[in-house]
Structure 1
């Protein structure tokens, strides 16, 4: 039994000053995620569902067919202001909104602020649909905790039946310290997943390695088309969460016949873990398969610390030199702007270090391997419902042997 006071406290999500929160969670409606348990370190674990848009008709609900990506980004800019969106279930048209407020400034495509006669900014406020008392009562129903047994790996039949082919269900935490950000879902993983579903033929029947997989959402999507996906990260608690997410979506991956293998891969170590006494270790057969058949390596939104970025690129160099085949690497990153006291200005230090590392990798020459780097324009369709902002980037690296 859970203490009623403890259960009530768990319903309140507290964001501390030393924690970070993914924008994906901020934009996920409360009814879409459910607190299910506490993890090994006492963090609340939530179960969220993310819709997959498999067909073109569904995709048109998110992106207007035939429009250029630039036009789509203009619409996304308008939609970022939640105070001007229409009620849930109705689609809002950015052009109609601009016409109503006479702020359209084509062809420059800028959105001007609304000013009154004195030049002061007019703030459009959301109408109060409920009284404070009613709003308080509604907020109490946003989360309904259901505490599960810690470490339970098997799902009951009812949970399996509830898994639908167009939903990805992911367990994750929210508002974590920086060292636990892998337990959250980030937009970079969605961008990478979009590209995978768009380029199904490229990933079909392949052996894929994901580095820094976090909750495993990109690996799970990849397994709908690939043959084998080695979903890797570090930390027993994180990998256990990732393994559970694989189990939650086994019906989804089964349709494509793919297999997800959750394994530990520490970028700060030269060798893979083969200790049979440890969880998420590698067998000799799996290591042989990894190096013999891997043709794609990918990583999403893992470039937030310069030391870890350096370690990742060293890992890429080491692994690609041991592969028997030419390998294509896909790296997804969100360019984050931060004000720093050191520069007294808004900078993108982590992103800049990532770009320097890409440049160094491309210039690198040895007797065995060369690396060809190129950006991929994010003009491909969205297959997941999220906010694709212009700061999201996807990079392609071809690691080819020198003949």
Structure 2
């Protein structure tokens, strides 16, 4: 592994500050998860508050996702010469201010701009956070460290999103952005206090970071994420309709469904980090068919309430197992441009979000029912596995740079 990811000394890697540093980085992921996923549960309130249609409200979610896709490579490359701690601080400050701007946005147009702005630092923050976390531990624990950073995002679906949704419904949807802004400012303090300073790599530059885009293995890893993870979002996007319309679960129980999905994501993220430390590509080879099987079983089990509850947890866990391995794979594929490569994982996952939701909507529009998106997701997981196999075969002929 490149020295780019091993800048701290052995003493630094053993310091007790590693735990608080990773928790601080995970707190940023928690805030990002709250602002990204709570909007889906507050769309009706947003529509009423801004006096807009449902498609227009949906555009606010799309604007955030577009901000992630644009900002991930752009901000990671621009911040290449900054010390990683300062880059993380700058991105979190940007994120906090953008959400506070959403709190005071007076109309639909300004809200659209502020949501796009809030999405810009998303991928770049997770990218640099993953690099920092990986650099604080030994190479054999990188998957675990990255999964702990990602745990902030998954835990937000269990705790932060339900709480923020309740606050928004009970006291006003704009309070969501005030809450997220406060979480961002808290994260700033934690990052400043606990994340150790690391000098920027002496050869770091925008050109060096953008060099990651010249590597086929980087693009293949991105494609694995877009295609393979698209099935996860194809199912998640329409989970409320599936649970109420197919499983017959009453609407008041939907928060339990979402919480189970979130708990599955937490468990899958932790397990995925552990097994990625043993073998990155081995994890990808095993998890993608696991996702396909889980989605096929889900499509059958969702016709009964109790089996539907079980499979919601399983699908959430199976999908999240893939993320730490993909993040680590991108770091391995471009060791001299780690921030950009790592941030591209989150751009890929947001494209997967759009792809999965779109394809799931297509089969529903064709009259195939709310179970069909899960079948589409299983097909996408198999296609993602095919891309992974191609990547592995090419690596045998031309190993990744050490």
TM-score of the superposition, structure 1-length normalised?
Answer: 0.25
Taking structure 2 as the reference length, the TM-score comes to: 0.25
Higher percent of residues as strand: 1
Select the structure of larger CA radius of gyration.
1
